[in-house]
Homo-oligomer: A and B are copies of this chain.
Amino acid sequence: MSIELTAIPGLPLIAPGDDLAEIIAGALRDNQIEPASGDVLVVCQKIVSKAEGRVARLSEVEPSPLALQVAADAENKDARVAELVLRNTNTIVRMKQGHLIVETGPGWICANAGIDASNTGDPDQVLLLPEDPDASAAALASALGRAFECDIGVVISDTWGRPWRVGLVDFAIGVHGINPLRDLRGEHDMDGRELHHTVHADADALAAAAGLLMTKGSATPAVLVRGYSAPAGQGSGRDLIREAETDLFR
């Protein structure tokens, strides 16, 4: 049993309005990589946000007093970025020493509402998370499926820190064509004990795995995964968001 992760080489810088599926299809063809049914494409949110024009211009942002305070508490934070974070925040989960860990979008909890100020191609621009990364994933799956006559899964990933752990890993924010969860509850282990808590977050693990080939500066924001045996069913990136009522850390 093997899984192969391949970074798709030669993707150009993406600009607002670009047809991301066409560009990825072209890069796949240029490199003689032919996606097949069952493959999963992991795409970094950054190029999805860029193609979808999810950009904000810092020069057009007027920071609020709270944003100014956050920036003053931070070591390296632009008050206009803090303002954009606050505008994209449902709930502040932690605000301390200029760090803003917030709930954003449908319930993602991450630093700075996922707003990304690096590698945008323009120092005045920052990237917001895609509006609906499940829809972004569905559009990519559909267009690439037509281009290569196959059914592929697509995961849109973003890079986040974690409580208690040093370092960033990639998480799945959008999912199409696969079930993001491998639910083993009700099955039994080798001793006959029923498994009560065993749901694996496969889409997050796929994102983390692909992230090994996506480090900043590598210019490989899309990775094709082959040989992964997905659990039955379909699902959404939202399936990975723990509801506040069952969350011990909200």
Interface residues of A (CB under 8 A from B): 1-7, 9, 13, 75-76, 94, 96, 99, 101, 107, 109, 111, 117-123, 159, 161-171, 180-182, 184, 187, 189-193, 195-202, 204-206, 208-209, 211-213, 215-218, 220, 228, 239-242, 247-250
Contact = CB atoms under 8 A, between A and B. Distances in A.
Contact of A165 (B120, B122, B201, B217): B201
A228 B212 contact: yes
A191 to B, nearest CB: 5
Contact of A170 (B118, B166, B205): B205
Contact of A216 (B5, B163, B180, B189): B189
A176 to B, nearest CB: 17
Contacts of A241: 164-166
A120 B182 CA distance: 21
Given A96-B248, A198-B168, A118 B7 contact: no
Copies of this chain, complex-wide, total 2
Give the 8 A-B residue pairs with the shortest CB-CB distance, closest first: A167-B201, A209-B209, A163-B249, A208-B208, A118-B189, A109-B164, A1-B7, A205-B208
Contacts of A119: 189-191
Contacts of A163: 109, 163, 242, 247-250
Contacts of A101: 248
A201 B213 CA distance: 13
A128 B195 CA distance: 18
A166 B199 contact: yes
